[in-house]
Chains A and B, each alone.
Chain A
Amino acid sequence: MNQREVLEVLSEKLNNGSITRRQFSQAAALFGLGAAVKPLAASAAPAGGAIAAPLRAQAEGEVRFLIAEAFWADWHQYNSTAQSQRRVGQQLFDSLIQIESADFAAFTPGLAESWEQIDELTWKFVLRQGVTFHNGQAFGPADVKASIELATGATAEVTVTASRFVPVTVEIVDDVTVQLKTETPFAPMLNELSRLPILSAEDIQPSDDPATPSAGAGTLAGFPNGTGPFRLIDDQQNVKTMEANPDYWNGAPQIGTLVWEYIQDGQTRLNAFLAGQAQAIDRVPPEHLPVIEGTDGLSAISVTGFEDVNLWMRQDSGEPWDNVKLREAVILGIDRQALVESLVGGASEVAISNIPNGAVFATQQEPAWALDLEAAQAALAEAGFADGGPDLPLWGISGFLPRGEEVCEAIADSLAQVGFNVQLQITDIAGLIDGLFAEDKPGLFFHVSWSSNGDPHGALSTLYKSPGAWVGINDATVDSLIDAGAAATDDAERAGIYEELQAYLWSNVIHIPLYKSDFTVAHADSVQGITVLPNFDTIFRSATLAG
Chain B
Amino acid sequence: MTSYVLQRTVQMIVVIFGVVTVTFFAVRLVPGDPARLMEPPGTPESVIKITREQLGTDKPIPEQYVNFIRDFVRGDLGTSFRGSRPVMDTVLEALPNTLALGLISMALTTILSFGIGIVAAMRPNGWFDRIALVLASIAQATPGFWLGVILALLFAVELKWLPAVGRTGWKSFVLPVATLVISLMPLQIRAVRQAFIETMGEGFVRAGRARGLSETTVLGIHVMKVAAIPLVTLIGLQAGYVLGGSIVIESIFNWPGVGTLALQAINQRDFPMIQGTVLVIAIVYTLINFLVDLTYAALDPRVKY
Contact = CB atoms under 8 A, between A and B. Distances in A.
B212 interface: no
Contact of A265 (B47, B83, B252): B252
B261 to A, nearest CB: 8
B165 A263 contact: yes
Contacts of A237: 80, 82-83, 85, 90
A80 interface: yes
B50 to A, nearest CB: 10
Contacts of A428: 266-267
B164 A268 contact: yes
Given A264-B251, A438-B33, A238 B149 contact: no
B296 interface: no
Contact of B263 (A264, A276, A468): A264
Interface string A200-239: 0000000000000000000001100000000000000110
Interface string B137-164: 0000000000001001100110010111
Contacts of B263: 264
A154 to B, nearest CB: 18
A74 B84 CA distance: 7
Contacts of B252: 265, 268
Interface size class of A (residues with CB under 8 A): 35 or more
B41 interface: yes
A50 interface: no
Most buried by A among B40, B84, B251, B268: B40
Contacts of B267: 70, 264, 428-430
A160 B149 contact: no
B22 to A, nearest CB: 21
A71 B42 CA distance: 19
A267 interface: yes
B83 A430 contact: no
A430 B165 contact: no
A160 B83 contact: no
A8 B85 CA distance: 34
Interface string A143-162: 00000000000000010100
A120 to B, nearest CB: 28
Contact of B83 (A74, A267, A436, A437): A74
Contact of B40 (A81, A265, A436): A81
B190 interface: no
Given A263-B254, A268-B251, A268-B253, A277 B163 contact: yes
A468 B41 CA distance: 10
A163 interface: yes
Interface string B27-65: 000011100111011111001000000000000000000
A338 interface: no
A436 B168 CA distance: 40
Given A74-B84, A470-B41, A271 B264 contact: no
B24 interface: no
B268 A70 contact: yes
B285 interface: no
Interface string A406-439: 0000000000000000000000111101101110
A37 interface: no
B173 interface: no
B256 to A, nearest CB: 8
Contact of A238 (B43, B44, B85, B264): B264
Contacts of A81: 40-42
A243 B288 CA distance: 42
Contacts of A430: 32, 37, 266-269
Contacts of B85: 237
A271 B165 contact: yes
Interface residues of B, number: 41
A158 B152 CA distance: 47
B157 A275 contact: yes
B208 interface: no
A468 B40 CA distance: 13
Nearest to A274: B157
Given A70-B82, A238-B264, A271-B153, A160 B32 contact: no
Contact of B41 (A71, A74, A222, A433): A433
B86 interface: no
Given A74-B83, A74-B84, A271-B156, A437 B164 contact: no
B156 A275 contact: yes
A437 B36 CA distance: 8
Contact of A222 (B38, B84, B153, B253): B84
B244 interface: no
B245 interface: no
B254 A272 contact: yes
A132 interface: no
Nearest to B94: A237
A9 to B, nearest CB: 28
A462 interface: yes
Contacts of B164: 268, 271-272, 274-275, 277
A438 B42 contact: no
A386 interface: no
A429 B166 CA distance: 24
B37 A433 contact: yes
Interface string A496-540: 000000000000000000000000000000000000000000000
A211 B102 CA distance: 52
Given A264-B263, A271-B164, A277-B166, A437 B44 contact: no
B295 to A, nearest CB: 36
A73 interface: yes
Contacts of A160: 40, 42-43
B264 A70 contact: yes
Contacts of B47: 158
A158 B41 contact: no
Contacts of B160: 275-276
B196 interface: no
A221 B82 CA distance: 11
A82 B84 CA distance: 17
Nearest to A468: B42
Nearest to B273: A237
B93 to A, nearest CB: 9
A308 to B, nearest CB: 16
A47 B65 CA distance: 54
Interface in B75-99: 80-85, 90
Nearest to B161: A275
A449 B82 CA distance: 22
Given A268-B253, A268-B254, A276-B160, A434 B31 contact: yes
Pairs of residues from A and B, 10 with the lowest C-beta to C-beta distance, nearest first: A430-B269, A271-B164, A275-B164, A434-B32, A272-B165, A73-B82, A275-B156, A274-B157, A160-B40, A272-B164
26 contacts: A70-B268, A72-B82, A81-B41, A160-B40, A221-B84, A237-B80, A237-B82, A237-B85, A238-B264, A263-B165, A264-B251, A264-B264, A265-B254, A268-B165, A268-B252, A268-B253, A275-B163, A276-B160, A430-B37, A430-B266, A430-B269, A433-B269, A434-B32, A437-B41, A468-B44, A470-B42
Interface of B: 31-33, 36-38, 40-44, 47, 80-85, 90, 149, 152-153, 156-157, 160, 162-166, 168, 251-254, 263-264, 266-269
Given A160-B42, A272-B165, 17 more contacts: A70-B82, A163-B42, A222-B84, A237-B82, A237-B85, A264-B251, A265-B251, A265-B254, A268-B152, A268-B252, A275-B156, A277-B163, A429-B268, A433-B269, A438-B32, A438-B33, A468-B42
Interface of A: 70-74, 79-81, 158, 160, 163, 221-222, 237-238, 263-265, 267-268, 271-272, 274-277, 428-431, 433-434, 436-438, 462, 468, 470
